[in-house]
Amino acid sequence: MCGILGEIALKGSLNSNLKKFKKALRLLSHRGPDDSNIYYNSQVTLGHTRLSIIDLNMQATQPMMSKCGNYVIVFNGEIYNFQEIKTRLHKKYHFKTNSDTEVLLYCYIEYGIKCLDMFNGMFSFAIYDNKQKITYIVRDRLGIKPLYYFQNEDALIFSSEVKSIFAYYDIEKKINLEAVYSYFSFRYPILNDTFFQNINVLAPAHFLKISQNKIEEIEYWNSSYSFKEQSTDLGEQYYISKIREILNSSVKYRMISDVPVGSFLSGGVDSSIIAAIMNDYSDCPVKTFTMGFDRDQYNEFNYAKMVADKFNMDYRELKVSSKDYFEVLNKLILYKDAPLSVPNEVPLYLMSKELKKDITVVLSGEAADELFGGYGRIFRSPYDLERLNNISDLNFTSVEKEKFKSNFVKKYGTEFFETDLDHFLSIYMYMSAHDKQNLLAKDKFPSEFEINIKNRIKQCFDELEEDCYTNKILYTFEKIHLTGLLQRVDTVTMAASVEARIPFADHRLVEFVHTIPLKYKLKWKNNSLDACVKTMMSDGISEVYDIPKYILKKAYEDKLPNEVLYRKKMGFPVPLKEWFAGDFYMYAKKLLLNPASKSKEFYNVKYIEKILNNKNQCIEPQMAMNIWMMINLELFMLNNFDN
CA 157 vs CA 163, 578, 634: distances in Å? 12, 44, 28
For residues 455 and 241, what is the distance between their CA atoms, to the nearest angstrom? Answer: 38
Phi-psi sector, 208: left (phi>0), alpha (psi -120 to 50), beta: beta
Name the percent of the chain in helix, strand, coil, to the closest 5.
50, 15, 35
Q: CA-CA distance, 429 to 537, in Å (whole number)?
A: 18
Q: How far apart, in whole angstroms, are the C-alpha atoms of residue 527 and residue 548?
A: 16
**Cα separations (Å) of 268 from 279, 292, 321, 509, 556?**
17, 13, 22, 20, 13
Q: Which amino acid is at 29?
A: S
Contact 90, 75 (CB under 8 A): no
618 is catalytic: no
| Cα angle: 114, vertex 115, 118; to 5 degrees | 115
Describe the crossing of helices 177-186 and 447-463 by its angle, rounded to 10 degrees: 60
Annotated active-site residue in 2, 107, 115, 618: 2
- DSSP assignment of 123-181 equals EEEEEEETTTTEEEEEE-SS--S--EEEE-SSEEEEESSHHHHHHHS-----B-HHHHH
Cβ contact 463:411 at 8 Å:
no
How far, rounded to the nearest angstrom, does the alpha carbon of residue 455 sit from its chain's CA centroid? 21
Distance CA 164, CA 430 (A): 31
* Longest distance between any two alpha carbons in the chain, whole Å: 80
Is the distance from CB of 156 to CB of 210 less than 8 angstroms?
yes
Enumerate the active-site residues.
Answer: 2
